[in-house]
Amino acid sequence: MDIMRPYLLFLGDVPDSLAAKTALGIVDWRPEWCLGQLRLPGCKADAGIPDMSVAEARAAGVRTMIVGAVNAGGVLPDHWVASIVEAINAGFDIASGLHSRLSDNPSIRAAAEHKGVHLHDVRHSHERFATGKGTKRPGLRLLTVGTDCSVGKKYTTLALERGMRAAGFDADFRATGQTGVFISGRGVAIDAVVADFISGAVEWLSPAAAPGHWDLIEGQGSLFHPSFAGVSLGLLHGAQPDAFVVCHEPTRTKMRGVAHPLPSIQEVIDLTIACGRLTNPAIACVGIAINTSALSDAEASALLASTTETFGLPTVDPIRSGVGPIVDHIAVIFPPTTDA
């Protein structure tokens, strides 16, 4: 997909920041691409960039409006259609990470055909994937896994790419969700792949590589989440990770969207190793990433220190404290190659 920049980010009327994580993620990692946001009345999220009408965005030079909001099931609400059609009539391409295809809506399809603009559904790949084979392939891989959904797996993976490259590693972020695809320019929205082909899609995304090359694979869901464990397991088997990092949000008591309690970090480590050994018997946990945004500085520092002591693994907040300790730990176990 060739998604034209710069962007106007459409947040709709989402109820919280997590529901706008696509837009917020793009702003965090590609702020230079984002000129403004368009919010409907009642929107409870804010990407921290100027609010713009479609007319203002057109005058500012916007080329594409990104549907930067998500919801359960990835459906396109009927009351968002008018804003999307208005943007199309202004000449904008539209890009969406929802499960619903933009062209399935008659009003959007007709407007796009009339104006000759492009509709990008990043969750729907045109690639045909094989089933996973589980055969060991050259190169090194790291996967982020979670105690729940939306706990920082994407941010941790992106931070690790930046930190590992700075430390001399040959490392690339591999996107498995719609926001990551917008940020990196390539990838596969794994939750839209037919179940039989999930592991094969991840094998395609992180193919055989040079012995010292790292593919840093964005995790999805949680092996413990009753809604999304199937996606997480297929991703784990296809990634065939040599290393994994557990991501956690410490203030939650229940998993997002369901009544099930959060698993412990140790339970996630144990189950990830037990399941991951199917395709990589040497799989190992190399660190823990905790989202401490809801904690004070003192609380965050104490939690990171106590978790490090409990597990004997470097524990960081990728945004607050950086991923340096995890990168250092990886460098001890897997030193960067001289030709990286």
Residue 71 has pLDDT above 90, yes or no: no
pLDDT tens digit sequence for 317-332: 999 999 999 999 999 9
Q: How far apart are the first and last CA of the chain?
A: 29
Mean pLDDT, rounded, for 177-196: 87
Contacts with 248 (C-beta within 8 Å, 6 or more apart), sequence order: 146, 147, 148, 151, 265, 268, 288, 289, 290, 291
| Closest by CA position to 27, among listed 179, 249, 215, 197 | 179
**Is 271 in contact with 170 (CB distance < 8 Å)?**
no
Strand partners, 247: 146, 289
Residue 24 has pLDDT above 70, yes or no: yes
Mean pLDDT, rounded, for 1-17: 91
Computed over every residue of the chain, the mean pLDDT equals 94
Residue 286 has pLDDT above 90, yes or no: yes
Q: Per the structure block, which two tokens stand in for 155? A: 């941010």
Looking at residue 322, its pLDDT comes to 97
Looking at residue 191, its pLDDT comes to 83
In angstroms, the CA 54 to CA 35 distance is: 12
SS3 142: strand
Residue 54 has pLDDT above 60, yes or no: yes
Looking at residue 1, its pLDDT comes to 59
Looking at residue 338, its pLDDT comes to 53
Q: Per the structure block, which two tokens stand in for 176? A: 């498995």
Residue 339 has pLDDT above 70, yes or no: no
**Is 77 in contact with 11 (CB distance < 8 Å)?**
no
In angstroms, the CA 56 to CA 84 distance is: 15
* Domains with residue ranges and CATH for the chain: 7-121 (3.40.50.720), 140-333 (3.40.50.300)
Task: Report which of residues 84 and 186 the model is more confident about.
Answer: 84
Contacts with 235 (C-beta within 8 Å, 6 or more apart), sequence order: 143, 176, 190, 198, 199, 202, 217, 219, 220
Q: Per the structure block, which two tokens stand in for 152? A: 């920082």
pTM of the predicted model as reported, rounded to 2 decimal places? 0.84
In angstroms, the CA 113 to CA 205 distance is: 32
Q: Tell me what percent of the residues of the chain surpass a pLDDT of 70.
A: 99
pLDDT tens digit sequence for 102-142: 999 999 999 999 999 999 998 887 788 999 999 999 999 99
178 — pLDDT class (breaks 50, 70, 90):
confident
Contacts with 176 (C-beta within 8 Å, 6 or more apart), sequence order: 187, 188, 189, 190, 202, 205, 217, 218, 219, 220, 235
CA distances from 130 to 210, 296, 325 (A): 22, 47, 37
Residue 296 has pLDDT above 90, yes or no: yes
Mean pLDDT, rounded, for 296-308: 98
Lowest mean pLDDT of 19-28, 57-66, 264-273, name the range.
Answer: 19-28
pLDDT tens digit sequence for 236-276: 999 999 999 999 999 999 999 999 999 999 999 999 999 99
CA Rg value for the chain: 20
Looking at residue 113, its pLDDT comes to 97
Q: Per the structure block, which two tokens stand in for 324? A: 């340096």
In angstroms, the CA 192 to CA 196 distance is: 12
Strand partners, 37: 9, 51
Taking each helix axis as running N to C, give the angle between helix 81-89 and helix 106-115, from 0 to 180 degrees, rounded to the nearest 10.
10
340 — pLDDT class (breaks 50, 70, 90):
very low
